[in-house]
Amino acid sequence: MPQIVVMGVSGCGKSSVGAALATVLSGEFIDADDYHPQCNIDLMSRGTPLTDNDRVPWLHTLQRLLQAHSKNTPTHYLVVACSALKRSYRETLQTGAADTLFVHLHAPYSVIWDRLVARQGHFAHSDILKSQYEALDLDHPTAATSTTNPTAARDGDGCVATCTDRDEACTDRKGACTDRDWACAGPGINVYPVDVSTLQVCEIVSDVGQCLGQTYGVAING
Ligand SMILES: Nc1ncnc2c1ncn2[C@@H]1O[C@H](COP(=O)(O)OP(=O)(O)O)[C@@H](O)[C@H]1O
Ligand SMILES: O=C(O)[C@H](O)[C@@H](O)[C@H](O)[C@H](O)COP(=O)(O)O
């Protein structure tokens, strides 16, 4: 069974969805938040965004975990909640774990902002959210494009450039690629976009779980 990385900006629901998805898949769950060095936690607690350099050791730790899982041809899924904001980060995570799939939880800025402000007991300060959207480097289409966020708006246009490629690239894995299937975000990177604006966690898990079930022929629990 492959590795599933649940990705997106801080507050999009990675931990909630990732943990629930691992449960219905009878898989293992890892929260990338638990692998940040203390210096990164200190920065984010103060509302200071991480840089590429800050993220490198953290991403390599996660990459080793994904690689170890992939190499052992496991009989269970590994679900990792990790922001994976940039394409280069996703490529790092997939190094040595080419069968890793990504589920991108996305919503307009205002939706996520409200959730972050309401969230209790997390080290990340809501002030990092703007930088998270700015860092988000998407190369796959998403339905939601926020009018308040120029990065997201640009991604909507980016769909035109990527749709043709992803149709072909998906053929290897599934033989077909529709908007409801795993979208290919470039060679070797498969992304499944989910608009989390209105869906509850259980609905998101059901949606992703069904897609996985169709792709891998494995029934999900619940
Ligand atoms: N689909 C959803 N609908 C409503 N609230 C959600 C949803 N997913 C997560 N939340 C809430 O939003 C907040 C952020 O979710 P969390 O899982 O911590 O996100 P992340 O791990 O991406 O930072 C939490 O308070 C969580 O309960
Ligand atoms: O790359 C980063 O800047 C961080 O990893 C960030 O994306 C992540 O989201 C934080 O760890 C906050 O944690 P939550 O995403 O759980 O809010």
pLDDT in tens, 138-189: 877 665 433 333 333 333 332 222 333 333 333 333 333 444 567 777 777 8
In a domain, 221, yes or no: no
Please tell me whether residue 95 adopts helix, strand or coil conformation: coil
207 in any annotated domain: yes
> How many angstroms separate the alpha carbon of residue 143 from the centre of ligand 2?
23
135 found inside a domain? yes
3-17, 82-96, 151-165: least confidently modelled range: 151-165
| Tokens describing residue 164 | 């043709």
CATH number at residue 206: 3.40.50.300
pLDDT score for 212:
84
Q: Which two tokens stand for residue 167?
A: 């149709």
Whole-number pLDDT of residue 141: 67
69 in any annotated domain? yes
Instruction: State how many domains the chain has.
Output: 1
Task: Specify the pLDDT at position 146.
Answer: 31
Residue 84 domain-assigned (yes or no): yes
Report the atom number in ligand 1 closest to the C-alpha of 201: 1
Residue 220 in any domain: the answer is: no
- Counting ligand 2 atoms within 8 A of each CB, the residue from 6, 7, 10, 39 with the most, and so the one to mutate, is 10
User: 144: helix, coil or strand?
Assistant: coil
In the predicted structure, residue 31 carries a pLDDT above the cut 50 = yes
Ligand 2 centroid to Cα of residue 176, in Å, is: 33
pLDDT confidence of residue 190: 87
**What domain range is 162 assigned to?**
3-215
For residue 31, is it within any domain?
yes
If one compares 80 and 169, the residue with the highest pLDDT of the two is 80
Q: Decide if 222 is inside a domain.
A: no
Find, among 205, 208, 209, the residue nearest to 220 by Cα: 209
Would you place residue 24 in the very low, low, confident or very high pLDDT band (cuts 50, 70, 90)? very high
Q: How far is the CA of 136 from the centre of ligand 1 (A)?
A: 18
